[in-house]
Amino acid sequence: MPTELNVRFPVSASREHDLELARRAATGDRAAQRDLFIEQRANVHRALFRILGSNRELEDLLQDAFIEIFRALPSFRGDSTLGRWCQTIAVRVAYLAISRRRPPTVDLALVEDTVASDSDLRRHVQVREATRRLYAALDRIEAKQRIAFALAVIDGKSLAEVAELTDSSVFAIKTRVWRARRELMRRAGKDAALKAYLDDLEGGES
């Protein structure tokens, strides 16, 4: 079950807060910019993490995303929440990054020491391995399909939310998720662990 984002204000108050914060930050008020950064960093990080699958190389993308956010602030009109608006920009930054990069050939995470010894260790290792396989497969599918799948299936967002974040229609998102799922299942044909994890994800609430 995806973690719910904190909602700190009633809708109208939240909108006013967002607009005021965006207005002040857009004028170059460093205190407001910092407040916005602190408020939205988890939001932006979550979107990027879900799409990219790990914190590797995420610092540069976070920096790019926030720079884009601050550049675009004058265009924020409060039509959506500031959080959603920031995530939209983060998704766009992630899309550009995925489109440019080549998949790594070796996952260095494999050489890290695993020191935990509690009862959750087995589950932790399972999730980690399954996640690695899932994102390795996602690395090889088209960027838009990957983003739609990551946000809708892995992060549990509704198709309408994903459509808003990616500036697409719900139908387009539905198609992309379907195609991504079909491609992943094809790749999972020889990977029982990946297939089991895909079934696991699809079986959960979304």
Partner 1 sequence: MTGDERLGPPPVEPLSEAAWARVERGVWAELDAETAPIRVPPGPRRWWAVATPLAAAAAVAALVVMTRGRPTTRSDEPSRVVSGIAPSSVSFGDSHIELDAATALVMSHEAEHPTVLLERGAAWFTVAPRLQRPAFIVHAGDATVRVVGTRFRVGRSEERIAVEVDRGLVDVQFRGSVVAVGAGQRWSSEAPSRIAAIAAIATSPPPAEPVVGEAPASEVPDNSQPEAPGPAPRHEPRPPRPSATTGRAEPRPGAARPNASDPADPGTVDRDRAEYDRLAALEPRSPDAALAGYLTLARGTSRWADPALFAAARLAVDRHDRRAETLLGIYLQRFPGGANATDARQLLARVQAEQPDRR
Residues that bind partner 1 (CB under 8 A): 1-3, 28, 30, 33-34, 37, 41, 45-46, 49-50, 53-60, 62-63, 66-67, 70-71, 101-102, 104-106, 108-109, 111-113, 123, 126-128, 130-131, 134, 154-156, 196-197, 199-201, 203-204
- Least gap, CB of 70 to partner 1 (angstroms): 6
Nearer CB in complex with partner 1: 10/100: 100
- The span from the CA of 169 to the CA of 166, in Å, is 9
Contact (Cβ atoms closer than 8 angstroms) between residue 1 and residue 205: yes
Q: Is 49 exposed, middle or buried (0-12, 13-18, 19+ CB in 10 A)?
A: buried
Nearer to partner 1, 20 or 60 (CB): 60
Q: Specify the DSSP class assigned to residue 139.
A: T
Beta carbon of residue 180, minimum distance to partner 1 (angstroms, whole number)? 15
**Minimum CB–partner distance for residue 178 and partner 1 (Å):** 19
Q: Which of the 8 DSSP states describes residue 111?
A: G
Least separation in angstroms between residue 129's CB and partner 1 is: 10
Q: Of 66 and 164, which has the nearer Cβ to partner 1?
A: 66
Distance between terminal CA atoms of the chain? 7
Give the DSSP H or E segment for 47. Answer: helix 30-52
Cα separation, 127 vs 107, in Å, equals: 16
Smallest gap from Cβ 117 to partner 1, in A, equals: 18
**Nearer CB in complex with partner 1: 11/108:** 108
- Complex with partner 1: residue 10 or 203, whichever CB lies closer: 203
**4 is written with which tokens?**
């719910």
